[in-house]
Amino acid sequence: GFQNGGATVNGDVFQESNGPTDAYAAIAKADRLTQEPESIRKWREEQKKRLEELDAASKVTEQEKKDLEEWNLRQNEQVEKNRANNRIADKAFYQQPDADVIGYVASEEAFLKESKEETPGSEWEKVAQLCDFNPKSSKQSKDVSRMRSVLISLKQTPLSR
């Protein structure tokens, strides 16, 4: 039968009383019942930590995207420059007689013939035409400003032989 020990809810025994009770004891008991279990508190902390890590990772990926776009712009610039140079070289090659038959050797011979006909000092002008003299600052590329200045000075005042 029923015991005279009071009502039991979730394993807690509640004593029934009609007399004055401690009002704060009831509030403390309600606080304990509404307080989060340890496992949920741990989960919240871990979830907060995971979200912070994801935020940090997304910031890194944004920087990587920016760097990739920058690299793509430089790459596309270089590809267009190479295409233009190749078109010029192709035009010079195909203006030769029997260029389609002779092939690469004719192109090389034309280059050698052209270089022999040049006046002394114009070699550096030809080298300067092949170089990109636009300074670009990038974290990933090496500093070539010294080499650039040497080539420009050689173009302006060639070495004397």
pLDDT digits (tens, 9 = 90+) for 42-56: 999 999 999 999 888
- Supply the mean pLDDT for the chain: 74
| pLDDT at residue 107, rounded to an integer | 55
Q: What is the C-alpha to C-alpha distance for residues 161 and 107, in angstroms, rounded to an integer?
A: 28
Return all residues near 135 (Cβ < 8 A) that are at least 6 apart: 145, 148
Residues 99/106, Cβ–Cβ less than 8 Å: yes
In this predicted structure, what is the pLDDT of residue 78?
A: 93
Averaged pLDDT, 77-94: 84
Confirm whether pTM is higher than 0.85. no
